[in-house]
């Protein structure tokens, strides 16, 4: 396997297109990097870094083993050189990679069912058959709360380099943070990738839509290439969500629409913040709200920042706060995607 073939295999692994043999091999490579002083999680953003580090590691181990073999006594048939297990396995996989891509090229229109991608061994299937929420704790202390009628498939033991579960229905997730083992949830035609966060996934929409809402942390939602043809959907590039944001994925049109959740909650919950203002500049008032809810608030007319506000809006929710503020300065607000736009004539 040359360096380019290694990159292709790592890209397949990242896109979850590897077979079991290939995945186990990459898992071993990633496990080697755990011994480094600085280890980074395997994501699309650092693919090139991981690629270079694995390649360097393979070359170093191979060179060391060759030198050890050469130093040993030669047999009458010549010197026996011990080949690194990483390079030997890589050579085998190199052939598999080429074969796989040829097959994919011939069958690129094939679409698998969701049930066909769920592993048959090493996984536990749990279905909430009650009329109440069902709480499940995984081996890494992550928590999944299943709503009635929801099914989740999860491994008895997570793999060294990543954590994966398969969801059908609606569930709340509270994922324990582990940068070395990113967490993936497969649902409908989507993959939700997280490191450590809490969020809600709902795949029970009657119109085949899926909705993901983030409470804390950061998640990346993208299409699952095993279930859809990514080449035929330039729109299906995915979206990154932060607290109080949600995305609705329409299965029929394969589009992502990101927006703000219906009921945003304060992100900074350790200390209750007081929203009591006395002749305070509107710009500072809006900045305080924006920081608390982690939502960008944009003022269309800069003169609005010259206005002042007096009042106590501590006990109101986000939209009630904005209603009170806007009425006091003759303005209105609109939700534009994941931002809030304030419109008004402003003050001199």
- The CA distance from 125 to 113, in Å, is 17
**Is the pLDDT assigned to residue 189 strictly greater than 60?**
yes
**Residue 243: pLDDT band by 50, 70, 90 thresholds?**
very high
- The phi, psi pair for 344, rounded to 5°, reads 180, 170
**Of 286, 172, 192, residue with least CA distance to 241:** 192
Domain limits for position 132: 122-260
Check residue 96 and give its pLDDT.
39
The C-alpha atoms of residue 314 and residue 321 are separated, in whole angstroms, by 8
- Residue 337: inside a domain, yes or no? yes
Residues 300 and 244 in one domain: no
Query: Number of folded domains in the chain?
Result: 3
- What's the confidence (pLDDT) of residue 206? 63
Whether residue 151 is contained in a domain is answered as yes
Do both 211 and 158 map to the same domain? yes
pLDDT at 186 over 60: yes
Regarding whether 335 and 252 lie in a shared domain, the answer is: no
Residues 133 and 208 in one domain: yes
Half-sphere exposure of 215 (CA within 13 A, CB side): 12
- Does the pLDDT value for residue 332 go beyond 60? yes
127 or 82, which is more confident? 127
Is the same domain home to 247 and 129?
yes
13 assigned to some structural domain: yes
Confidence of residue 8 (pLDDT cuts 50, 70, 90): confident
pLDDT at 89: 45
Q: What is the band of 115 on the pLDDT scale with cuts at 50, 70, 90?
A: confident
In a domain, 268, yes or no: no
Q: Of 6-20, 150-164, 167-181, 318-332, give the lowest mean pLDDT range.
A: 6-20
180: pLDDT strictly greater than 60: yes
| Residue 195's pLDDT band (cuts 50, 70, 90) | low
Cα–Cα distance between 278 and 168 in angstroms, integer?
Answer: 50
To 10 degrees, the CA torsion angle through 231, 29, 186, 194?
Answer: -100
| 3-state secondary structure at position 34 | coil
Whether residue 245 sits in one domain with residue 127: yes
Highest mean pLDDT among 77-81, 156-160, 278-282: 278-282
Segment among 76-80, 177-181, 235-239 with least mean pLDDT:
76-80
Q: Is 266 contained in some domain?
A: no
Distances from the Cα of 205 to the Cα of 190, 209, 248, angstroms: 14, 5, 10
Q: What is the rounded CA–CA span in Å between residue 206 and residue 14?
A: 31
Pick from 260, 290, 306: which residue ends a domain? 260
Highest mean pLDDT among 106-115, 225-234, 270-279, 320-329: 320-329
pLDDT digits (tens, 9 = 90+) for 254-312: 889 999 999 999 986 555 678 999 999 999 999 999 999 999 999 999 999 999 999 99
Q: Are residues 253 and 281 in the same domain?
A: no
Q: Is the pLDDT of residue 102 over 50?
A: no
d(CA 343, CA 334): 8
Q: Is 114 within the bounds of a domain?
A: no
Identify the pLDDT of residue 160. Answer: 85
Q: Which of 66-70, 114-118, 204-208 shows the lowest per-residue confidence on average (mean pLDDT)?
A: 66-70
Do 247 and 198 fall within a single domain? yes
| 252 plus 288 within the same structural domain | no
212 and 316 share one domain? no
pLDDT at position 273, please? 77
**pLDDT higher at 330 or 77:** 330
Mean pLDDT of 244-261: 90
Q: Which sign, positive or negative, has the C-alpha torsion 17, 23, 27, 30?
A: negative
Please give the share of the chain, as a percent, with pLDDT higher than 70.
Answer: 65
Residue 268's pLDDT is 66
Alpha carbon separation from 299 to 191, 223, 287, 309, 335 (Å, rounded): 35, 34, 11, 15, 12
DSSP-derived letter for residue 75 is B
Q: What is the pLDDT of residue 316?
A: 93
Q: What is the pLDDT of residue 117?
A: 82
């Amino acid at each position: 396997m040359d360096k380019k073939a290694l990159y292709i295999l790592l890209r397949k692994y990242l896109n979850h297109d590897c077979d079991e043999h290939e995945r186990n091999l990459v898992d071993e490579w990633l496990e080697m990097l755990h011994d480094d002083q600085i280890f980074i999680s395997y994501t699309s953003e650092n693919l090139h870094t991981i690629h270079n580090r694995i390649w360097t590691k393979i070359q170093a181990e191979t060179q060391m083993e060759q030198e050890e073999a050469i130093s040993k006594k030669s047999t009458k048939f010549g010197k026996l050189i011990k080949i690194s297990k990483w390079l030997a396995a890589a050579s085998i996989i190199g052939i598999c990679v080429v074969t796989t891509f040829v097959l994919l090229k011939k069958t690129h229109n094939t679409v698998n069912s969701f049930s066909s991608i769920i592993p048959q061994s090493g996984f536990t299937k749990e279905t909430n058959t009650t009329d109440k929420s069902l709480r499940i704790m995984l081996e890494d202390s992550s928590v999944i709360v299943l709503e009635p009628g929801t099914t989740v498939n999860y491994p008895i033991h997570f793999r060294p380099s990543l954590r994966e579960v398969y969801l059908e229905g609606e569930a709340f997730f509270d994922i324990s943070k582990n940068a070395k083992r990113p967490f993936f949830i497969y649902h409908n035609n989507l993959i939700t990738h997280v490191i450590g966060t809490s969020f809600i996934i709902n795949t029970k929409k009657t119109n085949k839509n899926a909705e993901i809402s983030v409470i804390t942390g950061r998640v990346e939602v993208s299409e699952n290439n095993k279930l859809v043809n990514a080449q035929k959907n330039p729109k299906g590039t995915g979206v990154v969500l932060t607290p109080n944001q949600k995305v609705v994925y329409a299965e029929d049109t394969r589009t992502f629409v990101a927006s703000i959740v219906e009921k945003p909650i304060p992100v900074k919950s350790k200390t209750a913040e007081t929203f009591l203002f006395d002749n305070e500049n509107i710009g500072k008032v809006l900045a305080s709200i924006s920081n608390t809810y982690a939502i960008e608030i944009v003022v269309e007319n800069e003169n609005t920042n010259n206005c002042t506000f007096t009042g106590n809006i501590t006990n109101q929710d986000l939209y009630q706060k904005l209603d009170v503020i806007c009425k006091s300065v003759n303005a209105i607000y609109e939700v534009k995607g994941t931002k809030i736009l304030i419109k008004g004539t402003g003050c001199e």
